[in-house]
Amino acid sequence: MSLSMEQLQAIAEGLNVETKHIQDQESLVYEILDAQAIQNASQQPAKKRTRIVKKDVDHVYSANQEKSESFEKKTPAKKTKAKTETSSESGTATDATPAEKPKKTRTRKNTTKETAAEKKALPENQEGEQVAPATEPTDNATNTETPLIQAEDANATANSITPVLKEEQTEMPIPEFLAGDDNASEIVEQLESNAAEVAKELEEEENEKKAQAEAAIPIHENNLDPEILEKLQSATTDIIPIQDIPTLSDSYENEYNGNYDTADDMGLIDNNDEPQENEDNTQYNFDNVLTGSGVLEIMPDGFGFLRSADYNYLTSPDDIYVSQNQIKTYGLKNGDVVEGNIRIPREGEKFFPLVSIDHINGLTPNEIRDRVPFEHLTPLFPDEKFKLCTGNNDSLSVRIVDLFTPIGKGQRALIVAQPKTGKTMLMKEIANAIARNHPDTYLMMLLIDERPEEVTDMARTVNAEVIASTFDEPAARHVKIAGIVLEKAKRMVECGHDVVIFLDSITRLARAYNTVSPASGKVLSGGVDANALQKPKRFFGAARNIEGGGSLTIIATALIDTGSKMDEVIFEEFKGTGNMELQLDRSLSNKRIFPAVNIVASSTRRDDLLQDPQTLNRMWILRKYIADMTPIEAMTDLKKHIENTRNNEEYLMSMNS
């Protein structure tokens, strides 16, 4: 360039251009050009935007995600004539004055797009029409534009060269401050070449968008109206058609009826191979393959679930759904042990449904159809004894229990124990003895509010079903588990089975019932509600010997001397309800004498129904002998003689000597 940096800065100061942040000469030249363009724009009237206004206008909006544009529907039936005005200063024709006042909030970019789209939409037969001269002066139109819009339009005219401006202005005027410069023509030529390149790129982008829009719309030209087809072909992706597309033919719809093979289209299937034989689509039935069992719990709505013993008969993923119709058909009740065929849950089902029932409480459905409810069965005194001793290598605990407090089928036994007297070990030995000598008897060990390690030890050492609710569980869980166990035992007794429940302990179960029971307003001493002990009594009172077969034996432990007034009240309530009482003494356990049984205070009601006459006579003599002894003296003397004999029969025979 022939002008130096100082000369360019002087020209910039004359145009009020800040030159502090400009370092190179080329940037300064472009800043001077921009300032000159803004001054020229303020002196000349602003260009009016092209707009074709119609009376009946349907507004649709652009589908462009970045900006939302409003377009007007081109109605071919109605046409309006635009008024134009020529300007001698700019050498180009001014736009028509609209009948309605245009909106001022539109940007130059949207105006350019509208102008290009509307020029294309104009019919060819309007080219020859005579243009009427404008009746309003251009000054009025100029005054409608605000200075802010004028500045934006002038800036857009100088910096952005669009195809519309290229048609209106073919030659770029030389700025006044470069009129005398020899290299001014080179700068202008460079700007013109840049403008031509930009215009060419914009035109290519427009053509590419049109091609994509035409390729994206699958249209059958034979089935469409010519006018609609012409509009769809001329539309771009920024315009949404506002007229409905006619329904395509049936042959076209059949191509997309859901049978389209995606894998074949993607080239995943080799069509050159020989066609494979069709696979066997036979529907297999798995209804009678899987079997399941559980204890039935009937919901208030009428249906039920078979609960699993692995989850202590509580809600679990192994639950089996039993329909209301099956419950009514087979006459099922809460606590029934049901075994049958199940099937895999179908779509929308959460549980394995029960398909058929094979056994109920170990019997077929026909055998239990006429069973008598448990409440209507006739209770009797226990008349058949549980044999605890085998005659060889029996433990001292079971031998003493077998002699002084025999346990019969249907016994309601209460083990009264102080803390740390060995009641848990005594229960384990009794349970193993019954399981060993009476394998047909069903044993259940119910542990309520016990320590978790005791539950594990009991499950590993006792040959019985262990159902537990540890002390860290809520009282409602204690009550629910105890209720399910009791209902299961009742249903088995109705079917003629012998069931034994070991409850440890009934004191803690009564505490749980006292916690969950609603307040009745009557409170006993120790904070026990008057109605809280009704259900524990019902549990303990369910033990009975059934006339005609079947028995329910409950051996429960009761805690005393714990320092709690509530425990004393609970023990007093259950003291006279049992027909066998086995008391453990803390003084014996302190001297490490086990089993710590107070044989003087322990006894069984109506033991004459359980013992043979010879054993009864011997025991009458033995009890008379130890009646005046203290618990420690009586247990010490008895233990010394029993350990020297092999079994109880040999001990009774040795009493004469």
Count the alpha carbons within 13 Å of 231 in the hemisphere toward its beta carbon: 15
Q: At what angle do helices 25-43 and 147-159 cross, to 10 degrees?
A: 140
Cα separation, 374 vs 372, whole angstroms: 6
Instruction: Output the DSSP codes for 384-405.
Output: SB-----SSS--HHHHHHHHHS
Q: Are strands 544-546 and 498-504 parallel, antiparallel or unpaired?
A: unpaired
Per run of 10 residues, the mean pLDDT along the chain (length 657 residues) is: 75 79 79 84 61 52 48 46 42 42 46 45 44 42 45 48 44 54 65 78 83 61 59 54 49 44 43 52 70 95 94 92 95 95 90 94 91 94 94 91 95 94 94 96 96 95 95 95 96 95 94 91 85 92 94 96 90 90 94 93 94 93 93 93 91 82
Amino acid at 481: I
pLDDT value for 183? 60
Do 603 and 581 meet the contact criterion of CB atoms below 8 Å apart?
Answer: yes
Q: Write out the H or E segment, with its range, that includes residue 143.
A: helix 138-144
Do 582 and 615 meet the contact criterion of CB atoms below 8 Å apart?
Answer: no
Six token digits for residue 95:
């736009």
Q: Are strands 352-360 and 337-342 parallel, antiparallel or unpaired?
A: antiparallel
Domains of the chain: 290-371 (2.40.50.140), 379-655 (3.40.50.300)
DSSP state of 293: E
Location of structure tokens 């569980």: 473
What's the sign of the alpha-carbon dihedral 411, 417, 423, 424? positive
Do 46 and 145 meet the contact criterion of CB atoms below 8 Å apart?
Answer: yes
Q: Are strands 290-298 and 337-342 parallel, antiparallel or unpaired?
A: antiparallel
Do 346 and 519 meet the contact criterion of CB atoms below 8 Å apart?
Answer: no
Do 56 and 64 meet the contact criterion of CB atoms below 8 Å apart?
Answer: no
pLDDT value for 427? 94
Do 313 and 485 meet the contact criterion of CB atoms below 8 Å apart?
Answer: yes
Contacts of 627 (CB under 8 A, 6+ apart): 600
For residue 544, what are the β-bridge partners? Answer: 552
Torsion of CA 307, 308, 310, 313, to 10 degrees: 20
Six token digits for residue 483:
């209720």
Q: Looking at beta carbons, which pairs linking 181-187 to residues 24 or more positions away fall under 8 Å? A: 181/2, 181/3, 182/2, 183/1, 183/2, 187/1, 187/29
The total of other beta-carbon atoms located within 10 Å of residue 556's CB is 25
pLDDT value for 173? 55
297: nearest Cα among 481, 85, 110: 481
Do 306 and 292 meet the contact criterion of CB atoms below 8 Å apart?
Answer: yes
Contacts of 165 (CB under 8 A, 6+ apart): 157
Amino acid at 82: A
Six token digits for residue 230:
């012409």
The total of other beta-carbon atoms located within 10 Å of residue 18's CB is 9
In the chain, how long is the greatest CA-to-CA distance? 154
pLDDT value for 378? 94
